[in-house]
Every structure is written in C-alpha cells, then in structure tokens.
Structure 1
C-alpha cells in the first residue's frame, strides 16, 4: 500500500494520472480522433482515443471533458450558428440537492475524488450499466435506434458521487427532425442518498448575453429591470418564474425561453481585458428549456451577472442572465429538453402555441 501511494504521488508530480491501477498521460484534445458521421448523426470514433462528441452532424452537438473547458460540465456546440468548431455556446451542469441537508451539489466546482482536480468527472455509456471511471479517452459511441418511426441517438452520462451523497446520471437523447435540441432524463443510482431536487442548469447565458425571458400572454422579464442597480462582480440573487407564468403548449408542456436583446451581438464593444472566449461570434439564437410533463411546483430560475465569470470585465450592454434552469421536486426519470434555435423568440413561440 505504501508503495502504491508513493507511486501515485510521483505520477501526479510528473503530470500523469493514476486511476484504478492504470496510468494516463494527459492528451491534448485536438490530437484525439475526430467524431465520425453516421447518417444524420455525429458520434465518437471507436477503437481509438477519440473526442467525446455526440449529436446532429448538421445541428446541435454536445461533448464532455477532456475537450477544452471546465470539468463537470456538458459542452453545447452550435455550428449551425456559424460558430467555429467546438466553440461552446453554453454549458449544462449537474446540481443535485440532497433531501437530508438540502445541500446543493456543484459538478463544476466540487473537487474530484478521483484525481483531486476541480470539477467532477463525467463519463459516457451506451447503457444504464457503466463501470466506474472508465478510460476517458475511449467514449461510448451512443446507440442509434428507431422510435415511433424516427431515428434517435441516445447516450448516458455518469458522474462521480457528490459531497452531499448524490449519485446521479442522465440519459441524453437526440431525435430526428429536432436538430436544435436534446432531451435530458435524470436518474439516481441505487447507491445515491435521497434527493430533494436534481437541477440541470445552463450555466453560461452571459456568452450569448441572454437578457429577456419570454412568458405567457406576451409578458417578458428583462435582466436590466430585475437588477437595475447591480454592479458587483458576483452573482445576483435568483429570480423565480412560476409554472403559471410560463408559455404552455397544447399538451400542457411548459416552456422557459430566453433571448439576447441585441440586434447583432457580433458588433458588441468589449472591455480591453475581456477574455477572447467570451466574445460572441456568429448568428444570434433563442435558448429554451421545455418540460413535457411539469409538476405544479415547476419553476424557471435565473440569476444574473454584471461582469463575466471569474473576472472584473463588464458585460457589453449591462447585466445579463447567467444560470438558466428549470427546477421542481425530484422525480426519477423526469425529462427536460434544452434547445438553442436560430428562430427568433416570436417564431419559436408561434410554433409552440399553434
């Protein structure tokens, strides 16, 4: 045992990770095999070290570490908005709340129990049965199937156990004919502590500078009016939107829709110290959460920032929404849909209510 501990310490000093008896050099993501096209789908290359990317070949795509970006986050790519390859438009974090202490886990910010790096490790599987911490360089391919006459692509994402005892995973499903969205279904494992909630939060609304929430009966909520005097470099308090305020479709599904308020985000003028990765390029888009079967306690929740995350750089045009999420008491197997569409907010709303 002492020899193993000493060996592990030496590996960390050398920049090598030691996991379950195996060693892994950190490999640059761009050197991994690129995703392969399979009809309408994009999937990781198999039988080789590969980039973990899934989704529509000509639509929305997602990825996880070791692709560039913070750990403990699903990356969302939208090349149809004229974005460069693997430029992230938003992230989704896992934030389960345990029932015993009502403590909220944070997949992006908690330290990994595996390698003592900030951010929980995510890994992929083709089924609900997944080994703990498989080699991150060999992602699951995902499963293509036919459901109700259309093709789907499904992959499961697992996560290390949270400090609050939550042990969770999600099923991600893309559906033919819906190229700008994907479904997330939330579960707990048999080893998990009981949950109060399992929040899937889109964490980077500031990248697109989302400022307008679109509600029922033509009403809106504007970030600049909610927090008109806020000039700090932290998060604002949360704002809550009830189910009764949300737009509903004919099946009583609930839509929580956000959009930028700029005509052309590419023309924004940034502070000199703004990091390049915050600078929005490409077409603007509307982002949304959709819950097909909401409970009466469903809420849409946002907070805002005046400066970009982890910086003092002010956001062009003022405060914008950052975290953008739906929340309700946890129900194992509950599904939510997240989308980023090139449609304007009104075009999307017209499709929803027709």
Structure 2
C-alpha cells in the first residue's frame, strides 16, 4: 500500500510537516530577533544597533568591545560598527544648537548637575517619557515601516538631553532599518520650552581617528592635505562650506556627502614608534577593515540652505590643552575632524549618517 494512502502514515506525515514548519518559523523569528543589538534585561549594556552594521550608545557606557572606562567624553553619542562579533568605535556625534547666531557644543557645555563639561543624555522608548532616569532601560521599539516589504524591521528610540545654556531644548528620534544596517537616521525635534533654533547641527566629530582626508563632491574630490597645506597649528582650521549644488546625488535625488581615507588599511593600522606617540595609542585605527563615512538626506526634499561643513586638524585632539607639547601630528598630514550637513532648522528634519564597508562608487550605484 502506498505510504500516503495509509491513515497512520498520513498522520505521521502531517505531524512531521507541522513540526518542520514550526521549527522553520521559530528559527526565522529567532534570527530576526538575533540581528538586533539592544538591552533585553537590566544587566545588559544599554547600546542599540544591528549585527554587521551600525551600533551606538551613550555615556557612561563604551560602545567598543573590551573597552574599559566611560568610552569617551560626556555629551556625545558614540557610534560604532559591529563586524564578526566585535564592535569598533568609529566616531562621535555631537549635538550643537545655534540660537541667535551663537553655537553651543554638547560635549563642552556644562551640565546643570555638576558643572562639568558635557550634557547628560538618556534614552527612552517614547517621546513622552523624557525625565532623566539613569537606571531606566530603553529596549527600543521594533516596527515594520514598509508595507511593501513587511519583512523589513526598524529599531527606534528617543534620546533626550539637558537643556542648553541658551535655552535650546532639542531631542532626537533615532532609528535603524534592517534593510539599511550601515545607516542611522537622526530626526531632530524640540521640546515646547525650547528657544528658537536657527540650526541644530549634528556633527561627526572624530574624523581624525579614521584619518578622513578625501571629501567627494559632484565634480571634484577635496583633499584635506592640500586644503590645509599652509597650516600646522594645534587648533581647528576651517575654510568655506560646500553648498548643496556641489553635492553628489543618489538616484532618487537625495544629496549625499562622502568622506574616505587616502591610506591603505596597513598604513592606518600602523602606529608610529616615536615615544611621543606612546601615550596616544588610543588614536590608532583598530578595525581590520576600512569604512566610508557619509551624511545624506532622505529623498529630494530639503531646504536650499543645505551644505557640507568640514574642519580639519593637523594634530590629534588633546583635551583643549594650550601646551603644544601635549599634541602629536597626524601621520600623513592634516585630516577632516568635524564632518556634517548643515540646514536651517525645522522640527522633524532628518539627517542620515552612514558607515559602510563599500566604496563610494558602490554606495552610489546601490541606492
């Protein structure tokens, strides 16, 4: 008698089929859940991101795997990249509101709690729970933002900060999509008691770590070594900004600004043996891969004020010390330190920051 004509065998086949289907669905669900990096319990480190992609956290936690200590200055968002089970710190994002033409810096503006440099920041799953609570845990909210692609997930949470001295009160809605694991979207809003902001800059403020020297525009590449060739001081050096008309565009018209390294990976990983550099080893590039860094707008809708702003340094940052002996030169010459898009402020404006193992050409082709 054929196997399927036997009632007992039919029941066994159905049982096997449903068991197989359950296992498949369970594994798919587990895999979907496993790709996100976020705190599940109070003992988990509060950081958020996605495997083989972008990850971020807030002071006093450190985003980099194995790092001991606070992980960097207060008042900055630490952004890293997870690859092969290890997270590498790549850059910091500072929040810099401009009120009445004057800028205030999140990492050096004093906290109202202790007067020390750096605004306190904290995370929340909702925009209504905005009171500072250092022991609260934000898991982040998983949603499905694209009805045409229901398998796409998005992790979203809010980051709040102390009110600034100029009375600016911005907050951020931060999201990462599973189909764009190398990007983080920052949406800027303001509380009701905020002073009017001319702009609220989000700046990637540690380009010297990756020694970013090449800024890619639509008709040329700006080389920091040539741009700042006449400068060798210990301060920041800044020249003109680049308007949106000089920016590269994606296929949908989205403006994008890309910054890359001019050195090989072997050169980046090599650290000078001179004794002056021994105390500065934290600046040595640690990932075993290179990353293209970029800022972009989402879609072709943007304010005409949009522009690229960079500044540079010839020396690694040494805590604003006025003593030149505390500084060492960047191997290979000046690099871009701050890298950002500037745009007139409006509530809900979005800036997307990317860290990609792809080249500039590959990024432009895939969009």
Identify whether the pair has TM-score above 0.5, normalized to the shorter chain: yes
Q: Superposed, which structure 2 residues align to 1:193-204 within 5 Å?
A: 193-204=195-206
The whole-number CA distance in structure 2 between the counterparts of 1:122 and 1:138 is 12
SS at match of 1:79: strand
CA contact 2:168–2:194 (8 Å) conserved in 1: yes
- Greater helix fraction, Structure 1 or Structure 2: 2
The whole-number CA distance in structure 1 between the counterparts of 2:240 and 2:57 is 29
SS at match of 1:38: helix
Deviation at 1:271, TM superposition (A): 4.6
Name the residue aligned to 1:42: 37
Name the residue aligned to 2:264: 263
Name the residue aligned to 1:122: 121
Task: Extract unaligned runs of 5+ from structure 1.
Answer: 1-36
Range 52-61 or range 192-201, more displaced: 52-61
Q: Over aligned residue pairs, what C-alpha RMSD do you find?
A: 1.7
Name the residue aligned to 2:184: 182
User: CA distance change for structure 1 residues 254 and 186 in 2, over 3 Å: closer, same or farther?
Assistant: same
Name the residue aligned to 2:276: 273
CA contact 1:123–1:139 (8 Å) conserved in 2: no
CA contact 1:271–1:313 (8 Å) conserved in 2: no
1:311-333 deviation line (CA, Å, top 9, x unaligned): 41111101000000000110110
Do residues 306 (structure 1) and 308 (structure 2) align? no
1:178-218 deviation line (CA, Å, top 9, x unaligned): 1111100000100100010010000000000000001113x
Name the residue aligned to 1:288: 294
The whole-number CA distance in structure 2 between the counterparts of 1:202 and 1:106 is 12
Name the residue aligned to 2:168: 166
Range 170-179 or range 342-351, more displaced: 342-351
The whole-number CA distance in structure 2 between the counterparts of 1:115 and 1:271 is 38
Deviation at 1:118, TM superposition (A): 1.3
CA contact 2:271–2:281 (8 Å) conserved in 1: no
SS at match of 2:181: coil
Do residues 332 (structure 1) and 367 (structure 2) align? no
The whole-number CA distance in structure 2 between the counterparts of 1:270 and 1:303 is 28
CA contact 2:270–2:284 (8 Å) conserved in 1: no
Q: How many pairs align?
A: 309
Name the residue aligned to 1:234: 235
Name the residue aligned to 1:75: 78
